[in-house]
Amino acid sequence: MIPERARTLAGGVLEAALGAGMVAMAWPAALPQLVLYGVAGLWFAARSLAGRRGHDVHHALMAAAMAWMVAPGGASKPVAAGLTALFATAAAFWLARAADAFRRRALSDRKTQNPDEGERPMVDLPRIVSREEWLTARKELLEEEKEVTLRRDALAARRRELPMVKVEEDYVFEGADGKARLLDLFEGRRQLVVYHFMFGPDDTEGHNSCALLVDNIAHEEHLHALDTTVALVSRAPIARLTAFRERMGWTIPWYSSLGSSFNFDYHVANDESVAPVEYNYKDKATLLAKGTPWYAEGEWQGLSVFFRDGDDVHHTYSTYERGLDQLVTTYTYLDLTPLGRQEHITKFSLHDQYAS
């Protein structure tokens, strides 16, 4: 599915090509006109049939004009020149719209997704318009939102269809009630979602960005009712994990994997003396080449999904970095607002550290 911005830009480019038609009309051969107007005509006919952005009538008229201009005995040169000028004007409008869309996307990426270190970045506020103009813009955005929703549904379906790998290693964890195997973490349910919480053996408290994500897990009972358990796993000693869990007021079970290879096997801990470096499906050389050497060592966050079939456990999915964004509902709410996310996820405080 082609993104709306790409279609808008492509439409603008095709309309701009019509401006060249004025030059082509002076040529003896009809082929240049046929190519320019014929291809553009097909584009607008397709846009018309698709009813994109409510411009179906506009695009249908353009498609008809193209056909008239290239048909034998069709539009005269003065009429064709006038239509071409009209289309060139429309081209300028759509190219400006496309450029503005890309500019806003770049601004959003720069100022809300990954704000710079230091002061909170300034964000351009929306224009003030009439209710009618707002409604038009909102309906245009709604079309793109619907596309994203359908695309997300398709991705979820593909995710469910991923093959799974049987877990052969007999991992042993330390929980609040003592030793536990990976099978025990399911608590009798068929599905297990493990959040790999950044809390290493030498850390005194959990990482703030991981704490933000766990703060956003509400009422596990809904998941339990659908045969799914959520658990946290870290390499810090269980006493430290339990104390921090109580401080944060969480009820989610938390296990220490200290002494096992679990975090290394699922690539949320990197130490070359223990296992080859890998994070987010990139080896050490790739991480260094990408300019992210920090991922090549230490503790990192991630999420892994397991499925139980009897006493057999299978690994079905793991995600890292911004693949975790969808679990941070604080970001989901902020993404609906004019100011956006404002802070990088590493800048959020623990919830008991905010000033009253």
CA–CA distance, 184 with 193 (Å, rounded to integer): 13
Residues with pLDDT less than 50, the chain: 1, 22-23, 26, 51-54, 104, 107-119
Supply the pLDDT for residue 174. 97
Supply the pLDDT for residue 94. 60
CA–CA distance, 252 with 231 (Å, rounded to integer): 6
CA–CA distance, 138 with 131 (Å, rounded to integer): 10
Supply the pLDDT for residue 40. 66
Supply the pLDDT for residue 168. 96
List beta partners, residue 302: 196, 320
Supply the pLDDT for residue 146. 96
Structural tokens at position 309: 């079939």
Supply the pLDDT for residue 21. 58
CA–CA distance, 19 with 54 (Å, rounded to integer): 24
pTM of the predicted structure, to 2 decimals: 0.67
Supply the pLDDT for residue 74. 65
Supply the pLDDT for residue 117. 42
